[in-house]
A and B are shown apart, each in its own frame.
Chain A
Amino acid sequence: MAEVDRRVLYWVMFIALAIPFINPLGLPVPITEMTKAVYDKVESLGPKNIALFSIAGGVSAWPEIAPSMVAVMRHLVKREVKIVVWGFFTDQDITVDMITSNVPELSTKYKYGEDWVYMGYLAGGETAVAALASDVHSVFKADKYGTPTEKLPLIQRVKSAKDVDLVLTVDTGSYITYYIRHWNVGKGTPVAEIGIAMQADQVVFYPANLVGLLIGVRGGAEYEKMIGRLGGGTITMDAINISHLLFIIVIALANIGYVMTRRKK
């Protein structure tokens, strides 16, 4: 059993992932505490509040984070929260395009510059996050499209972290830690994360600093259920079910084989 060509294993996984898309299982997705906490926080915001949507994840992680991004953005728009978007990945323009095409209210219901604004890309990692916490206007002189900040009423209201009511950081790396360090601990701004699954282990022990966390595609599926609009996250969960079951079976088989081999010796 141990000598199986790994390409056989790859094909098994490939086929196993395809089956639930063809024959969905449709298992319900229970809501977890961390997702509910993010939902409740967004639900508590309204037209007078400003949320920061920070994109610190690339296009490569879309299958994991896109459902959450779209669901949360839909919720923010439903609550009529003002939204400032900026990010730290060079391909984030494509992500913003994806969000605006999936949340058409950003063009139809919201007025650009007054209700939402996209400031563009920043290099510098933690330095950029720290600088923005103190003085947004010293860093951003214009938005993504070259419009000076003086002509954007929404960004005129955001001078530092203290003017933001909630930070939602879409994260595949360390940016949640930067926002916790400089925006939450430094300035008291609530921070929530839309992250890949591995982020969960790295941030759940910040209970006092983190509002909540959407854990990967599972978090996206839960949030879609909470806002009553099922989407890509829910569809993917069936494939997740089968793949995870396959992992358990494979690890069990491998260890049964190992124990039997050891006993023979």
Chain B
Amino acid sequence: MPYPTDPLILSGVWASVILTLMVYSYVLYKETPVFRFAEHTYISASLAISVVVAYQTLSSNAFLPISQGDMTYLIPIVLGLLLYTLPFREVRWVSRYPLAFIVGVGTGIAIRGSVHAQMVNQVLAAITLPKAPQPIDWFNFLFSLVAFLTSTSYFIFTREHTGVLKIPTQLGRYMIMLALGSYFGNTILFRMSMLSGRVEEILKVFGIIPWR
């Protein structure tokens, strides 16, 4: 692909790279007004997009049904507006009603969903024998089972981790470290791919690598 020549696109890509360098000035040099400007620009843009998208969503999914005659949608709209009393101390108590509603629904749904998927299914998966097992499958099954049981024993806080609990909890710590180490490795992939995306953009716009 050739380097863009359209003024609108060109101005956009250069603005994007200049803003990137403004943000990186904080890391690669020190905090400057240039970084603060970029930071505040981002905050205002993300707040603006929240308002616009929220309005569009409400138009489609709340105001439209009201315009079609379904007045029950007035109830959540009124409750939603009552949320805006939260920042004001004198009338803050009004916002507790919509908050209670959201918290009740969210809590109920989280409980009912997690019992099966995150508790029952996890125990079943841990104790399910491998199908058509090779020796390595048996090793993996036993390793996972032992890791699960010993790591879970680490989270027993009603007894001190001494005596019969000493070895399983110690082993459990090692298993948790194994899991966290894996998480750390994947976090690095995530952070590095984010960073390389921006580096590529800078190189493209400065013409050091071909535009693609």
Contact = CB atoms under 8 A, between A and B. Distances in A.
Interface residues of B, number: 51
Interface in A116-135: 120-123, 125-127, 130
Given A64-B193, A130-B113, A14 B60 contact: no
Interface residues of A, number: 62
A235 interface: yes
A243 interface: yes
17 contacts: A14-B28, A17-B196, A18-B199, A21-B196, A22-B203, A63-B196, A90-B49, A90-B53, A91-B46, A120-B56, A121-B56, A122-B61, A140-B61, A141-B60, A186-B113, A239-B199, A244-B188
Contacts of A177: 117-118
B33 interface: no
Contact of B60 (A142, A216, A243): A142
Contacts of B189: 197, 215-218, 240, 244
Interface in B178-212: 179, 182-183, 186-190, 192-200, 202-203, 208-209, 212
B121 A206 contact: yes
Contacts of A240: 189, 192-193, 196
A181 B186 contact: no
Interface stretch (B92-100, B102-110, B154-162): B102-110
Contacts of A120: 56-57, 60
Interface of B: 24, 27-29, 46, 49-50, 53-54, 56-57, 59-61, 64-65, 102, 105-106, 109-110, 113-114, 116-118, 121-122, 125, 179, 182-183, 186-190, 192-200, 202-203, 208-209, 212
Contacts of B24: 14
* Interface residue SS majority, chain B: helix
A178 interface: yes
A142 B61 contact: yes
Contacts, number: 161
Nearest to B195: A17
Contacts of A91: 46, 49, 53
A141 B28 contact: no
A148 B56 contact: no
Contact of A126 (B27, B109, B182): B109
Given A64-B197, A182-B109, A218-B189, 7 more contacts: A17-B192, A18-B208, A63-B194, A91-B53, A121-B53, A197-B187, A207-B125
Contact of B203 (A21, A64, A139, A244): A21
A7 interface: yes
Interface in A214-259: 215-218, 235-236, 239-240, 243-244, 247
A141 B72 CA distance: 14
B49 A243 contact: no
A198 interface: yes
A176 B208 CA distance: 39
Given A216-B189, A239-B199, A240-B192, A121 B57 contact: yes
